[in-house]
């Protein structure tokens, strides 16, 4: 079974995108399941086939160990890794071709801690990729866009999985704004100019150098504009994901 890890900053649209991708794939008769890896999720826009919350109870951890919400999330993620075999079995039992993994809003829980790395490595031996979700209304500010470039590069550096980029919530931005962001991805000089306009030539030196380094190694190719709400760009995103996972072949293990 192949795996796509949906990763992105808090509130970027990961869970809604997971739901929409799943619904789209099921409509096209793809065999897909969802795994919720966010122990702190209260309400999800889909009903996960396998749910980390069945293995760890964040409220109980807070009560038993007198932890705050973030400490409990850290502990819950480590405990989830301890339950990896059970989680893996539950996913394998579904016999699906693809698992969409909805990761926690606190990106560091999944991407930077050992437990997340263990889960990403051991969940399946088949092909894996990251769908890195950027919040379009947030990223139309070049400073936020570049912060997401850094974060996506840091996630890559840690997980070493191929990445596909989704410009989520495209319905909340104008076509011009989306085009501008696509232009930044295509031509780093456009991003450098936008950064200079935004914070000035001197203040943008480090950001520009880092952007150049990230795009220079080909780490941040053009994102795909999607709206999970309006169901646009989903076909294109899935096509990019398939290309990344299997060089364009149908997803069959
Ligand atoms: N207009 C619009 N809103 C969206 C879209 N996708 C998500 N949202 C909204 O953005 C908010 C966050 O969406 P989620 O999918 O919960 O984001 P998340 O990244 O899973 O959030 P955390 O798990 O808390 O980090 C919700 O209010 C969604 O309804 C979209 O395509 N269009
Ligand atoms: Mg979520």
- Give the model confidence (pLDDT) of 33-66 as tens digits: 999 999 999 999 999 999 999 999 999 999 999 9
Tokens representing 208 are 């520009």
- Residues near ion ligand 2 (CB < 5 Å) are 14-15
Tokens representing 128 are 């894996």
The predicted structure's pLDDT at residue 219: 86
Tokens representing 130 are 């990251």
The predicted structure's pLDDT at residue 221: 87
Tokens 């092909």 -> residue? 127
Taking 50 as the threshold, does the pLDDT of residue 253 lie above it? no
Binding-site residues, ligand 1, Cβ < 6 A: 8, 10-16, 38, 105, 168-169, 171-172, 227-229
Residue whose CA is at the smallest distance from ligand 1 atom 6: 13
**pTM summary value:** 0.95
Q: What is the DSSP letter of 232?
A: B
Taking 70 as the threshold, does the pLDDT of residue 237 lie above it? yes
Q: How far is the CA of 168 from the centre of ligand 1 (A)?
A: 9
Tell me the pLDDT tens digit for each residue of 167-186: 999 999 999 999 999 999 99
What residues have CB less than 8 Å from 204, skipping those under 6 apart? Answer: 192, 195, 196, 198
Calpha distance 162→61 (Å, rounded): 34
Q: What is the DSSP letter of 39?
A: T
Calpha distance 109→115 (Å, rounded): 8
Taking 70 as the threshold, does the pLDDT of residue 6 lie above it? yes
Q: Find out whether 72 and 65 touch, Cβ atoms under 8 Å.
A: yes
Q: What is the DSSP string of 66-82?
A: T--HHHHHHHHHHHHHH
Calpha distance 37→101 (Å, rounded): 7
In a 3-state reduction of DSSP, which class is residue 23?
helix
Return the closest-CA partner of residue 188 out of 172, 211, 162, 155.
Answer: 211
């Amino acid at each position: 079974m192949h795996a796509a890890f949906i990763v992105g900053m808090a509130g970027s649209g990961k869970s809604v995108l997971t739901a929409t991708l799943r619904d789209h794939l099921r409509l096209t008769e793809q065999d897909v399941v969802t795994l919720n890896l966010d122990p702190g999720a209260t309400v999800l826009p889909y009903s996960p086939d396998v749910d980390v919350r069945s293995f760890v109870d964040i409220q109980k951890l807070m009560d038993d160990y007198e932890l705050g919400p973030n400490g409990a999330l850290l502990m819950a993620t480590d405990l989830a890794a301890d339950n990896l075999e059970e989680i893996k079995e539950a996913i394998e039992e579904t016999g699906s071709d693809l698992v969409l993994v909805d990761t926690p809003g606190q990106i560091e829980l999944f991407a930077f801690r050992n437990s997340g790395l263990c889960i990403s490595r051991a969940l399946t031996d088949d092909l894996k990729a990251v769908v890195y979700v950027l919040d379009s209304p947030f990223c139309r500010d070049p400073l936020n866009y570049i912060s997401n470039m850094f974060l996506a590069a840091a996630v890559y550096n840690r997980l070493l999985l191929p990445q596909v980029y989704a410009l989520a919530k495209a319905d909340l931005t104008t076509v011009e704004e989306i085009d501008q962001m696509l232009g930044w991805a295509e031509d780093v000089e456009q991003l450098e100019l936008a950064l200079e306009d935004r914070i000035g030539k001197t203040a943008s030196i480090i950001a520009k150098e880092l952007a150049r380094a990230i795009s220079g190694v080909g780490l941040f190719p053009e994102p795909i504009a999607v709206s999970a709400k309006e169901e646009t760009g989903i076909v294109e995103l899935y096509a990019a994901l398939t290309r990344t996972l299997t060089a364009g072949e149908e997803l069959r293990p």
